Amino acid sequence: MVEDIPFIAICVLTLSLVFLLKKILSKSQTKNVPKGSLGYPIIGETLNFLKAQRQVKGSEWIEERVSKYGPVFKTSLLGSPTVFIIGQQGNKFILGSSDDVLSANKPPTIQKILGKQTLAELIGSRHRLLKGEMLKFLKPECLQNYVKKMDELVYKVLLKELKENKTTQVVRLMKKLSYDMACNVLFDIDDHTREILFEDFTTAFKAIHSLPINFPGTSFWGGQKARARIVAKILPIMNKRREDLSKGVLSSTNDMLSCLLAIRDENHQPLSDDIITDNFIFLFVASHDTSATLMSLMIWKLSRDQEVYNKVLEEQMEILKQREANEEGLTWGEIQKMKYTWRVAQELMRMIPPLFGAFRKALKDTCYQGYDIPKGWQVYWASSGTHENKDIFENPYKFEPSRFENQTKPIPPFTYLPFGAGLHNCIGNEFARVETLTTIHNFVKMCEWSQLNPEETITRQPMPYPSLGLPVMIKPRCNMSS
């Protein structure tokens, strides 16, 4: 009898989800919803979609449906009926709509792992309040103050790697670097806590795009357990900083967590612990994995393309050559000189965007180009619909960084979307730029390397990474300069 309990639990959960899905769908039967297939009950086309993502064939998955149903089609992902809207006008409709029409509410899996009150979910005055306070740490004038700390951290990590290893996995290294950067620069988390939290954040992030089956052994279940452990570890830190803030021994400008603790709303009340922990986890995931993705892809590209590598190397070495004798490390002015290096990053994000697309949720019945989108349905935009459009980007499948140089034909709005757009665009895009350029600068000046698997492809998990972790032979550069 005991052995039957898991099976019974799965049956009850499945039947409940089927009933919920039927209830939602019954409301749409009389509407002119887009054509398409909702796939299997509950699962929908989730597994098919995620498989395509892992194989970096997400754009082909979309094109297959666009050819059948047109640029507006329905499917079902992560337990919810979903409308895909492809193209510039679709991006503008989704990303430019007000929050009372299309909310940034994420699917249940994402909400359960990241939280329901993150910056990506909040609307109205609460969203404006948090975004304004967070931007104080992420705008260019503040980032200037982080360059020295970032440079020292990257140099220290790479120096240790070079001393201890002849081969290294670049993805592992970049994840470690970006994680340490978030801990050190944004949140002021000590080394001991940093190490304890790392595995839980890794587990939680992997669960974000899983099916919402909360059963022992599933990725979703493991992700929620990891989130609970993160919250349990961060609450004592929050309490200590709250106490230090009240005593005046800590400033709200010290770090992002202290900033959140010091915020007062329109009623002069502090934010709840739930809002703070939700946004702590959200910001950690957003700042950690997105940057690690871009930095890994940069090293992957430099390993495979000699021409691009030579130009990046030349630019970085010229910066070192021109450095003032009294300058000991990287400066904000030098970051601004890395124009070609950043164009390589921009082109990589066009061809392999960190963010494939994103969900919105219809809070009321709405319509687009004659199609009805019922209340409660998800809406999804995909970057490939414009990033790979030859009418927007000439020869879209050719790697051409110069397309971002002195553009005579500006890129139309809502077409280049590595960081999203609209009210809920990524607030950390400038932080990611400085972090990436600082890391590539140090990697190129300090290291010589060769790819162990030259044919290594890219996979999404759900962010795009080299499929084998990008193992390389690595050694110190002969004329390495600190």
pLDDT 10s digits, 167-225: 999 999 999 899 999 999 889 998 888 888 888 988 888 887 777 788 888 888 999 99
Residue type at 2? V
Residues paired with residue 449 on neighbouring β-strands, in sequence order? 474
CA separation for the pair 7, 303 (Å, rounded): 49
pLDDT at residue 450, as a whole number = 95
* 3-class DSSP state of 223: helix
CA separation for the pair 428, 410 (Å, rounded): 23
Domain harbouring 435, CATH code: 1.10.630.10
Q: What is the mean pLDDT of the chain?
A: 88
Q: Check: CB of residue 102 under 8 Å from CB of residue 361.
A: yes
Q: Can you tell me which residue has the tokens 């390389």?
A: 472
At 21, the pLDDT band (50, 70, 90 cuts) reads: low
> Is 478 labelled a binding residue?
no
Residues paired with residue 379 on neighbouring β-strands, in sequence order? 83, 360
* 3-class DSSP state of 190: coil
**Which structural domain range is residue 276 located in?**
31-476
CA separation for the pair 356, 350 (Å, rounded): 10
**Pairing, β 167-169 against β 458-460:** unpaired
Residue 161 lies in a domain: yes
* 3-class DSSP state of 103: strand
Q: What is the DSSP letter of 467?
A: T
CA separation for the pair 70, 128 (Å, rounded): 36
Residue 446 lies in a domain: yes
Residue 275 lies in a domain: yes
Residue 334 lies in a domain: yes
- Of the ranges 28-32, 251-255, 311-315, 462-466, which is most confident? 311-315
* Six-digit token string for 102: 């299309």
Judged against a pLDDT cut of 90, whether residue 232 lies above it is answered with yes
Q: Give per-residue pLDDT as tens, 378-435.
A: 999 999 999 999 999 999 999 999 999 876 678 899 999 998 887 777 888 899 999 9
Residue 15 lies in a domain: no
Q: Give per-residue pLDDT as tens, 24-52.
A: 555 555 589 999 999 888 789 999 998 99
Q: Give per-residue pLDDT as tens, 359-386.
A: 899 999 999 999 999 999 999 999 999 9
* Six-digit token string for 66: 């666009």
Share of the chain above pLDDT 70, in %: 92
Residue 13 lies in a domain: no
Residue 217 lies in a domain: yes
Residue 20 lies in a domain: no
* Number of folded domains that form the chain: 1
